[in-house]
Structure 1
Amino acid sequence: MKKIGVLTSGGDAPGMNAAIRAVVRKAIYHNIEVYGIKYGYQGLMEGNIERMEIGSVGDIIHRGGTILYSARSEAFKTDEGQQRGIEQLNKFGIEGLIIIGGDGSFRGAQKLTEKGYPCIGVPGTIDNDIAGTDFTIGFDTALNTIIEAVDKVRDTATSHKRTYIIEVMGRDAGDLALWAGLADGAESILIPEKQEDFSTVIDKLRRGHKRGKKHSIIVLAEGVGSGFEYGEKIEKETNLETRVTVLGHIQRGGSPSGSDRVLASRLGAKAVDLLLEGKAGRMVGIENNSLVDHDITKILNEQHTINQDMYKLSQELSI
């Protein structure tokens, strides 16, 4: 293999640039040409492709977002769109493709591999919702962004004796809420995988208020429901002054943490190794701090699950 391509797709995540850097430099180290594809699969279909050199990825390891940009493409979900992408890859002589993104991005990699074009997936999403890996690129940075925000909210919650609901990202996965809630000592953690009864939430708040607690923090994953609706229900039920903070896309930005930079570098380099070994349709991941790779179709058919022991611990510590 003499030429490979790399693209980022779907939602951006801190550490994507570190992964791009690892792909480019690892490949050049092995005398392979690398081509960056801008704006994900949409850019692939349009031929928005350019050769990358060592200097192309200089001074980016600490930057959030992605220098290759990202986009969502409905057209690429069709056979015609996928064929257009393959035609562009053939035009540039690119023999293998590394795709950094989440499950939607991996479905594109799966389709290209089925059409005979070798692809390797690198998990990059702040939700940490991909099976086959303990952590995804961007999760640790987003987690620390939430923790910092909750720490600041706690200061004003204490000053005014208020209950605060912090709504975080996680449409289908509650890892961000679970980890942040445990790290911040939240009274309740509401996640899609575990629908805690509303009466339990109310009981915890009342018990805390009864023993003189000055404030309460509830962390809510967006997939559970609206933080504002929960806030209204809580205030109506308890008569406790309640405020809601929706963190939104601030969770996706910022300089990646040390953990995300190292993880992205390891996964990006491993993806190049797999292409050099002649493998295709694989996803790289990390399990028990060791690099692994899995069949991408198998991963797409599995569901990421939360750490049950962590959830149980969060319940035990929030009495």
Structure 2
Amino acid sequence: MHDVSRLAGVSKMTVSRVLADPDLVSESTRNRVMKAIEQLSYVPDRVAGSLSSRRTNFITAILPTLTNSNFADTAQGLAEAMRPADYQLLIGYTMYRLEEEERIIRAMLARRPDAIVVAGTTHTKAANEMMLRAGIPIVEIWDTPQHPIDHAVGFSNYEVGRAAALHLLALGHRRIGALGSRMDGDAKDLRGESRLAGFTSVLREAGLGDELVIREGLAPVSYDHGALTLGILLERAPDVQAIFAVSDISAVGALMECHRRGIKVPGDLSLMGFGDFDIARQCVPAITTIRIDAEQIGRRTGELLLQVLDRSTAPDYTPAAAVNVGFELVTRGTTAPAGKSR
């Protein structure tokens, strides 16, 4: 900063003002300072600045995976919402492991983020305690817990599962199954399991059993997972009429396996997924699914954080209520009334 001030012919305080609040400095002075910064390739020390301001201008986002396009869209929406206020994202991914989430939270808190955004609402005891004591805004996303740690932006995965089951029942299907992953390993898809819980609750209310709900393989699900679990289900119930997969990725694998086996979809079997992935729209036939606006989750999270970070020092500050972005059932070519099956 001393070198910049000397080259620009201004005080170090003026340089500081240009960096912190450029509107306080005249345009001509501001231009001289910025030109000097460019000539010297000067990068402001944000960490040093945060010692006095207690702001680091970065937000931690902890996601299950970076290969899922929906989570990537959420990160993009969050980044776009925070960018005008000069916040940057520092992203960690857990691969659906709660112990890894705990490790990432501990490592991120050591870097003093201004807020933490974490996918999911179930955490280890230690992770919960760290976030509760962090003294910064915490936003849990991709679900709507009854009692969030601080804030929440998402939708009810349980209600998603119920909506899927109600759709298949409305089509007249009675032999109904579902495809999900196991919960006995280190990697657990807790949101997918919540969708299965909602799905099976409707089946029981309709007087049907849940013996055709297949949990196989570990999270995250894949195309191979869909093909494998479909095969297991068909061995158990060759007369199954309709299937809900906890992800479009798994649904695509199941659809490809149906093609290989000569099973007509939806002529012999109705199939639906979750997520509205691009590939689900491009399959033949296109897959019936539950659409989530993943980018909106990120955008709404960013908007909430900007409000919280601006108001958190105000005497009348109170945490915002959970934001429910909802979901939409999208009917396409892989589901049909039971009368048209078999």
TM-score, normalization: structure 2?
A: 0.41
Higher strand share: 1
